[in-house]
Each structure stands twice: as structure tokens, then as C-alpha cells.
Chain A
Amino acid sequence: MLQKEQPPAVAQLEALSRVSNRLGATLLLDEILNLVLLEAVQNSNASCGEILLLDENQGIDATYTFPGPAPATPRLNEQVIERKSAHVYAVASLLEPAQAREQLHFALIAPVLFESRVSGLIRLISADPNGFADTDLTFVSALTDLTALAVGNALRFSELRERNTLLQRRTQQIEHFLESSRVFHSERRLEEVYEELVYAIQEGVGYNVVLLSLVENTGQGMSLRRVTAAGLPIERLKEIQKTPQSWQEVEKLFSPNFRLGGAYFIARGTSSAEGLGLSVPHVGDLYRSPLAPNRTPLEKLWNEADLFFIPLRDMQGKPQGLISLASPIDGLRPDLNTARVLEVFANQAASAIENVQLFHNMWDYALQLQQLHNVSQQTLRERDFDRQLEIILDGLQIAGWQRVTLTLRDEAFKVTKLISAGLSTAEHDALEHTLLPAAIWRQRFGHETLQQYRRGNCYFVPDDDPRTRPAVEAVFPAAAQPETDERWSPGGVLYRPLFDREQQLIGLLALASPDSHRHPDENGLQTIDLYAQFAISVIESHRMFSEMQRRSQELQALFDASKALSGTLKQDAILTAMGEHMLQAVSASAYTVYALTRNRRDTVVLRSESKVGWLDEEPAGTQSQIRQVSLAQKVIETRRAAAQDFSAPSTGAGAEQGERFSLAMLPLPLGDELFGLVEVIATNSQFNWTPDKLQLLEAIANQASTALETAHLVEELDDRVAQRTRALAEEVARVQSILESMADGVLVAEADGTILMANMPTAQYFDLPQERLVGQPVEKLKSPHGNGADRWANTVRMWSTQSASLQPHGAVKDQIEVGARVLNVHVSPVFANGHFFGTISIFRDITREAEVDRMKSEFVSTVSHELRTPMTSIKGYTDLLLMGAAGEVPEPQHRFLEVIRKNADRLTVLVDDLLDISRIETGKTDLKLQPVDVSRIIQHDIGEHVRGRIQHENKALNFSISLEPPLPPVHADPEKVTRILMNLVDNAINYTPDGGTIEVQAFTSAITHTSAQSEKGCGDMVCIRVRDSGVGISRENIERIFERFYRVEGGNFQDAPGTGLGLPIVRSLVEMHGGEISVESEPGVGSTFTFSLPCVNGDKHDLTEISSASSYDANARKLRT
């Protein structure tokens, strides 16, 4: 009985385990949902079930059903969606109104909550009148959690896949671009292209010195960078490169006054341009000017202070840079022609530069992307999370950031992980301790001031802002490398916060020391973004994986605990198993189980175990104060788990005073009552009681509670069973003593014929001790006392092999001789719950009755013998006299002698009939059954007899025989049939006056009108009818004519021969054959006697009753008559 209740819990847990295993193995939502549904229906009381997936508007997105569609309950669905909790509803009828309205159905509906939204429903329908068990509700709720996880996984998986597809597409584009541009680019450095340009101008336009400067955006406005020069020594170029040039200042020179074609020429002394340092540095010592003809006027001669330059513009007219020229080879100031030539070169240069820059940038970007692709490939191959993050940081290093850190943050922005690249071990270790506290970080990043540092999705924080300084130092040690490049503040840090899908900050990427010593341009920022996004996806995947792993571990822990808990029925073992599994599940150190007493103030320690020295284990059974009374009070009131930190007791031996520890208090319910409390203590300072952990422990406590309930139930049941066993034993003893005190023998045999029980009289009858009977086969009783018991034993045995055809009320009686005893045995099959259980035999000692019987029949025999002897003389001498043996007898004497003879004959018949009836009634008459031809008996014996009598008695009777051929043979004793017919025709002759008719008919009758036979399913019968036109029998007499010695009074036939025993004998004989006799009569018209005898082919009625024909059968029938 308990066994039956136990498996569902285990089966349900196993189902949960299966689902969670599948969850870890596949991301295919369909597969998991189908499994969830299957397990839900099969392991609960449900008859069918359904999972609905809902979209944002609670519309149905997808439906899964098992084994077929479940009846809809839209109103209940809405209720569950609203309440966001599982419910069981009893529904009058979920079927069409026409069908089974009275039948009660149950619907269990549980919401699938994903990110606090009802994203689906599990619906189970039960037609079972018992509905759903509480365990079903818990089970389905657990399934909904798993379903939510599956839905989340599927969602994230598809997002991840989309993101990966996007990344892959981009990478492919880039690769394509790389392929084509590589040919064009031919690995040449940008600087080389510029150099070529300036040398081309040097030669083409005819100036010794050509300087190319390009406009750049440094983030602090446009400035001019000197890129390369022709005709200038390297040292001089480097010197001027140090001086930055504001583009704004330069633009002021683009005045129409100085315009010369597309270029500008500013003669010496005409402007303050010199102060700008725009001029090509002094080159007089490099290039002498006497090349110009002497007669050339001075104003046409090139002066070293002259400025000649042309701006470079891209296709859109945006300034690109500047080409400055100095020291013309002909020594002359430029004219318009010169300017026009320069213009052509400048245009070409501009487009070349633009192209080259474009390619260059794209090349860089492509390389970065390829690098990212490599990183992503590498990460995917890597299983270890830390290693994955390191690969990403390595990628960023390759992308041009020498020092990179990545910190992962929890919800409170606490650092949970730190990964770095480009930092020395010492630096890394130092960072772990100096990382900025979460609060400050949040403040900084929430602060408006930070917005001014925003660059795309990144923030650049220079080292000179006192507000952000601590942040910078926190991420990178103050020992920033001495940096000379003015464009990247040496202590600056570029931050990229990492947000998850819900815009929750989950980490921070910090980059410093760019290879280029420059701020990243748009492409650079984009690259960082790509890495950041990649890092996010890696972190999220990891979180998902860990979540799944954690869930799976929780389930495993719960499963293990349940298994352990369901394995025992002892309270102490249950509590120990619960405690041990709780400690294991959350890695805690100690637990104590308190039992609540009635007033809930005192508690009794039931179990206590500690793995920490100072936390003394409390001896079981002690009255104890709960450590945290207020917490306990709260748990008792809310019936929910609660956790709290507390300080170690000052007296603690192994703990430092005041050290913090975490304690959780759990309710331990028992049915609706609170059985006790469980205290779980974690001594690890890093320990944190998350809701998940508490939930897990609660689940284990609930499992333990169920086990306790079962244990208590078992205890109760044990008591009850013991009680019932006692009662049963008493009952058995009572029955036994009743059976023992019975005068009759009682023997019970099992279905296989083994004796189960035999009382004292039985043992006496068989002359064996009782204990030697029980357990023995019934055959054991066969031989020792002759073969008297054989028929009985055979019957018992036969029934055991043919029990299928037995009927509950088919009993058989027999009379057997065992030793000197004559026993009446009554055997019946016993059926228990419709199954053949065995047989019960009741033996009655009828030795004395049998003896009386024997004496009676001997008496009858003797009496009839003694009567016959004198009658022989009376009849014999009368006959002799009538024969004339003693001479002629005169008429009057002759008549008197006839009277004597007639009465002597009558007396003889009376004696014969008496003897017959006596034998029939004591069951001494045997039927010698055989196939009998009735027509032969009628035609020969009866015909002869009747004609003989008619002739002999000189009667005027019309006698006829009417047979309906062909008459089948009957199953009968021919002598008895003759006797029956003789009696009937004699009666007919006796009561039919002269001139009347007597007719004997015989015909076949199909299954007859008679109920007794049709019940036995007998076949055809042969009916024999003796009809006379005699005096008939009055209505009041007709019912009594088969009574013994009843003779119809009055009438003219007072002197008719007969004993009053003829008809009773006839009826007995007919019935012995299984036939029936009836009479129809009308006074003055005649009487008709009809009796039936079974045909040979119909002789199966007795066989069906006891299933097989045997000699025993015939005897049994004999007994029944």
C-alpha cells in the first residue's frame, strides 16, 4: 500500500532529472517541450496535457499536445496568467454539454515564467475522480521552471546565432575586400606613397623643397601634421614635425589676396604668416639661388621668406592637407603657369592620398576584423571561460592596445573576476586589491562629468582630471609608462562598459597604451565595440551555461536527497540524510534540526552535526534554545526560509571573535503542521545565501517532510497492521476452533490439491494425525483405506486442473467408504474474488445410518421373503385346485377359489411394489443405463402384455400402437422402461370399460417445454404417451395420484387391481432417468399419461455440470436422485 504511494515521487523526480539532462544536451525547444509534456502526463494523474507558448500579447504562439488535444479552458488560462501561479481547478465538465455533464474533470494549469513574464502554460487535464495530488502540483511547477529555462535558452541561442551570423557575414565581406585590395595595395606603406608624391612634385613643378602636411582630427580640433618632404634632410623634417600646426590658423591664409590659380603665394613681408612657421625652414644653405638670370628684376626673384602652397582637397572639397614648396630651381617666384602645373599635381596627389588613405583605413579595419574573427574562432574552440576572456584580451592587444583589463561585475557592481593582458604579475596582483569599490564606480559612471569623455560607446578618461583620477588609478597602476606622445595622455584610460541584453552592467573593459599613441579613430572604436560585444556574448553564454549547470546541480542535489530520503522510513535516518544533503547542496558546515514542542517556545534538538570546531554539535534530545530566536520566530510565522549573518560567539574555540557567519533557518513542515526547524550554518566568509540556495534547501526540507510523513504513516500503519493481524489471528483461531468443534470433518484444499486445513474429525476419519494431513496432496488420503476415497480425491484433483470451467455453486455429493466407516462427502469449489481458490470437503460419518439402511433393506427383503413363502402355497394350491389336480371342482367352489387366487396375486404385486418403492427410496436401485430402442419394447413386450391381458380377461378394448419413426435410442435401463410402461398400460386396462380404446404413442420432442431440462441444456427427448378412454380422474384427484397408496375412491372400479404404489414407482423411475411425467385427464372421457426419456445424443447434461464425465459422475447422479 505504501509501496504504491512511494513510486510516484521517485518517478517524478526521475522525470525531472531526465528533462534537466535533456536540457543540458539540446537547445531544440520542440524536443524539450515534447519531453516535458510527456513526462508531465505520464507521471501525474493527468489523462492528457498541453503546452502553450504565448507571445508578448498573450496570444498563442505554439501548441504542443500529448497524447491528443486537451479540452480548452480559456477562462482558467487567463486566471493563471493573471495570478502567475499554478492552480488546480475542478471543472463540472470540460466536455460538450451533451456529454457526461455530471462527470467532474480537473485541470492543472501552471504558468511558465520567463523574465517575470508568462511566456507559456502547461495544462494537464484529469478525468480521474481523485483529481491531482499535491505532489503533481509541485512536480508540474518544477517542470515549468525547466520549461522556462528551455525557452530562455532557445531565445538566447537564436540571438547568439543571429549575432554570430552577422559577424560572420561582415567577416566574409572584409575577407573579400582584403582579397581585392591586397593586389592594389601591394603591401606598400602609406609613407612611401606620400614620398613618391612629393618627389614627383619636386621634379614636375621644379622646386627643391616640397613638404606634404595632412589634416588630422586629434579630438581637440583639426591640426596639420607634417608627413613627408622632398629636398629636406631627415633631421630637419623631424624637427618641424614636432611643432603642431592648427588648421584653423592655416585656413586664415586662404585669402583671395594671395591667390595664384588654385595655389597661394605670399611674398615676404606681406603677412604675419611667417610667425606661423608655415614656411619651409631655412633652406638657403642647401640650395643657392644664382640660377636666376642676373637681369631678372628683384621682385620676381624667390625670397626665402616667401610662402608658396596649395591646399589638397578631397572629392567633397574637404581639406586634406597642404603642399608647401620652397627654393625653386630657376630661383624665380611662381607665376600663374607654375601654379597651374602645381594644381594638376595637387589634384592628382589629393585623389591619390584619398584613395590610399581609404584603402589604408579599410585595410586596417579589415585586419582588425580578421583578427576578431580569429579570436572568435579560438574562443569557440576554448572551453575554459577564463581562457576565452584571455583570448579576447589578446585580440585587443593585437588590435593595438598594450594594456588591457577586463573586470566582471555582479549585480552590486562588485568585481567577480579580473583578467588582464600586458600587465606584469605584480601589477595584476596589485590591481586585485585596489580595484575601485563598486559604489564609486557607479557614481563615476553615473556622473555627468563622464559624459564629456564619451567616445562612441567608450569613455576616455585622461589622467589629469581629478574627478576621474582614482578611477584611472584603480584600473591601471599609477606607474603609467612615460609617454611622450602629446596626442594620448599617458595616464589615460579608455573604458568600454559591457551591458547585457537587459542593459545591466556586467563588466568593464579598460584599454590603455595604444601602439599608435593616438586616440582610436572611428574604426578603432568600432573594433573595440566588436570585441566588447564579443566579450558580452562570451560572458552571457557562460552565465547561461553556469546557470544551467547550477540548475542541473541543484536538481541533482535534490534528486540525490530525494533518493536518499525515500530509501528510509526511520525518522532519525531521514533527518540525517536531509542534513547531510543540505550541507552538500550548498557547501555549508553545520546543521541542527529542532523539533517544535506544543507551545513553540521550547525546542528539542533532534539531529545536529557540525564540521566546524567551535560549533558544538548539540546532543540529540536536549532541550535547547534556538540560536537566533527572532529569525526562528519569523520562519515559524511565515513558513518560509530566512537567512541572516551573525557573529561567532566570543567563547568559540576555533573562530575569531566577531567573525561573521551565515545562518539559514528553514521550516520543516509535517502535513499542515510545523514539525520543526532546520538551521544551516555556513562559515565561509564568502558565503552568500542566494534565493536559489534557500529554495534548494527548502525543496530538500519538503522532500524530507514527505518522507517523515510517510514514515509516520508507516508507523501508524504498522500499528494498525499489528492490530489487524492480532484480530485476524483471533478470528482465525475462532474459525479454527469452530471447525474443530464441528462433528463433521472439514478439509480445505488449495487450488493445486494441497491440503490447507483439516479438522480433528477429518483426521479421525482418515486415521491420520492432523499435522500429517496439512501440506500434503489430497492423494495422500487415497490408498491407505481402500479405494473408497479415490473418487473424492480424483474430483478434487480434477477441479484443480479444470478450474476455468468450474462454477461457484457446482457442488458434488458422494458416499464413500473409508476403512470401516461410511462417509457422506460434500465437495464444493471455493471462489475468492472470482478466482478458483480451492475446494472445501465436508465429511459426515454416516456409518450408523448406512447400517440402519442396510438393516432396513434386509428387513424388507426378509419380510418379503417371509410373506412370499406362504403366498406360494396359497396361490399354488389354489391353482392346483382350479386346475382340477384334486378332482373336478363344482361351480360355486370354483368361483371362491378364483377370488382367493385373485387376491393372492394382488398381494404378490403389493409385496413386489413395496419392495420396489422401498429400494427406490433408499437409493438402492441401480439403473443399468444403455441405449434402448423404445419402439421395440412397446411393440413386443407391451403389445404382447396388453393383448395377453385383454384376451385373458376377455375384455373388449381397442388397443393401438402409434410410433413416429425414426425414434432415436434413449439412454435408459430397459427393464425399468418396461416396468414403467407395464404399470401405465395396466392402469389403462384396469380403468377402461369395455368398448374403450387404449393407445400407446411414442414421438421425438425437441428441447422440451420442461424448465428443468432446458436448464441443463439437454438435447432431444423421446416422449411416450399412454392414452385411454377410461373413467378419467377428477380434478381434485389428479394432483394426488402420484402419492403412495392413494387410490381414487368411489366409482365402478373399486375392485380394480392395484396397490396404490404403481404410479409413485413410475414417477420415481422416470425421474431417475432424467425424464418427466405428466397426466391429463377428464372424468368420463379418459386419461393421458405422458413421460419423457432422454435420447442418447442428449446425454450431456450431467457432464456439463461437473465438467467431465466419469464414473464418479454417474454415482453422483445416483446420490442426487
Chain B
Amino acid sequence: MAKILIAEDDLDIRELVVLTLQFHGHQVISASDGAQAVEKAQQGSFDLILMDVRMPRMTGYEACRRLRENDATRDTPIIFLSAKGQEAEIQAGMDAGATQYILKPFAPDILATKIKDVLGA
């Protein structure tokens, strides 16, 4: 049972992730863009943050960098969920401070497994 923040501008995917995580018994808070994600992440302490890369107002990369600069979220695992699968894009995500990078489309049960892995680590 963990407290997870999901930042995703696509409503369908955001709901898919929420449903999947809730199905696996997690508490899920959602944000619809990067800025909101940073804001919410700082308000409540999360065990894990899932983030899309391409989001309005603030990109996932930028948000990730911000979170890493903040003491409260510095060590919080951050997983990118992105359709950008090119090597350079993945590398950029990892450089921004991500813990994991999961390429869309993903199978919900695999997502759950990976989250479990990250939380357990």
C-alpha cells in the first residue's frame, strides 16, 4: 500500500493508471500537468511519482528536475511513462533524475510489477 502521484495530461491514460494502481491496492493522487505535479508532490509526501514526459505548462523532464531540487521530493522514486522511445529521449529522462522509464504502451500488470519492484528496492 503506497501513496502514488500520477501526472498525465491524457485523461484516458491517467484514469487507466489510477484504475490499475487502485486495483493493486495503492492510494493514487493525480495531476494533469507538470506544474501541478510539482505543486502536489510538495504538498503531500508520496512514495512514488509517475509522470508523463510531454505535458502542458511544464514537461516531465522539467518537473522531475524541480522535484529533485526539492528536499522533500529529492529521494522520491520517479517513473516516467512516455511514448517517446528513442534512446536520446530515454537518456534525457534518466538525466533529469528519473528512477525508471516505462515506454507506452504498457501492460497494466507489468506496470504494477515494476512499481512493486521500485517500492521494494
Contacts and interface: CB of A to CB of B under 8 A. Distances in A.
Given A868-B85, A885-B23, A876 B13 contact: yes
Given A861-B84, A912-B85, A871 B23 contact: no
Contact of B83 (A869, A875, A926): A869
Contact of A880 (B10, B23, B86, B89): B23
A630 B24 CA distance: 138
A864 interface: yes
Interface in B49-90: 54, 83-87, 89
A883 B108 CA distance: 9
Contacts of B106: 872, 875-876
B23 A883 contact: yes
B23 A872 contact: no
Contacts of B16: 872-873, 876-877, 880
Contact of B105 (A861, A866, A908, A926): A908
Given A876-B13, A876-B16, A915-B85, A868 B104 contact: yes
A912 B109 CA distance: 21
B19 A872 contact: no
A455 to B, nearest CB: 135
Contacts of A868: 83, 85, 103-105
Nearest to B108: A879
B117 interface: no
Contacts of B104: 868-869, 871-872
B16 to A, nearest CB: 4
Contact of B19 (A874, A880, A904): A880
B111 to A, nearest CB: 8
A865 interface: yes
A871 B87 CA distance: 20
A363 to B, nearest CB: 134
A885 B15 CA distance: 13
A823 to B, nearest CB: 23
Interface in A435-452: none
A865 B83 contact: yes
Contacts of A908: 105
B107 interface: yes
Contacts of A876: 13, 16-17, 20, 105-108
Most buried by B among A873, A876, A877: A876
A868 B104 CA distance: 6
B12 to A, nearest CB: 4
Contacts of A877: 12, 16
Given A868-B105, A871-B105, A873-B12, A861 B86 contact: yes
Given A869-B104, A872-B106, A875-B107, A864 B85 contact: yes
B4 to A, nearest CB: 16
B94 to A, nearest CB: 15
Interface string B19-53: 11001000000000000000000000000000000
A879 B87 CA distance: 27
Nearest to A874: B105
A724 B30 CA distance: 86
A875 B105 contact: yes
Interface residues of B, number: 22
A885 B19 contact: yes
Contacts of A865: 54, 83-84
Nearest to B87: A926
Most buried by A among B12, B17, B83, B87: B83
A877 B15 CA distance: 10
Nearest to B107: A879
Contact of A904 (B10, B105, B109): B105
Interface in A907-931: 908, 912, 915, 919, 926
A864 B83 contact: yes
Contacts of A883: 23, 108-109
Nearest to A924: B86
A640 B108 CA distance: 120
B20 A880 contact: yes
A864 B82 CA distance: 11
A627 to B, nearest CB: 104
Interface string A856-871: 0000010011111101
A676 B16 CA distance: 117
Contacts of B107: 875-876, 879
Contacts of A869: 10, 13, 83, 104
A922 to B, nearest CB: 12
A904 B104 CA distance: 12
B75 to A, nearest CB: 28
A865 B20 CA distance: 22
B24 to A, nearest CB: 10
Nearest to B84: A865
A879 B24 CA distance: 14
A915 B108 CA distance: 24
Interface in A874-893: 874-877, 879-880, 883, 885
A808 B61 CA distance: 51
Nearest to A870: B12
A876 B17 CA distance: 8
A203 to B, nearest CB: 162
A430 B103 CA distance: 142
Contacts of A866: 83
A910 to B, nearest CB: 12
A1086 to B, nearest CB: 32
A926 B87 CA distance: 10
A920 to B, nearest CB: 13
A868 B109 CA distance: 18
A885 B109 CA distance: 11
Given A873-B12, A885-B19, A885-B23, A880 B108 contact: yes
B88 to A, nearest CB: 10
Contacts of B17: 876
Nearest to A907: B105
Nearest to A975: B87
A908 B106 CA distance: 10
Nearest to B53: A865
Contacts of B84: 861, 865
Nearest to A908: B105
Contacts of B13: 869, 872-873, 876
B79 to A, nearest CB: 14
16 contacts: A867-B83, A868-B85, A872-B104, A873-B10, A873-B105, A874-B105, A875-B105, A875-B106, A875-B107, A876-B17, A877-B16, A880-B19, A880-B20, A880-B23, A883-B109, A915-B86
Interface of B: 10, 12-13, 16-17, 19-20, 23, 54, 83-87, 89, 103-109
The 5 closest A-B pairs by CB, nearest first: A868-B83, A872-B105, A876-B16, A872-B104, A865-B83
Given A865-B83, A868-B83, A880-B108, 12 more contacts: A861-B86, A868-B103, A868-B104, A869-B10, A872-B105, A874-B105, A877-B12, A877-B16, A879-B108, A883-B108, A885-B23, A912-B85
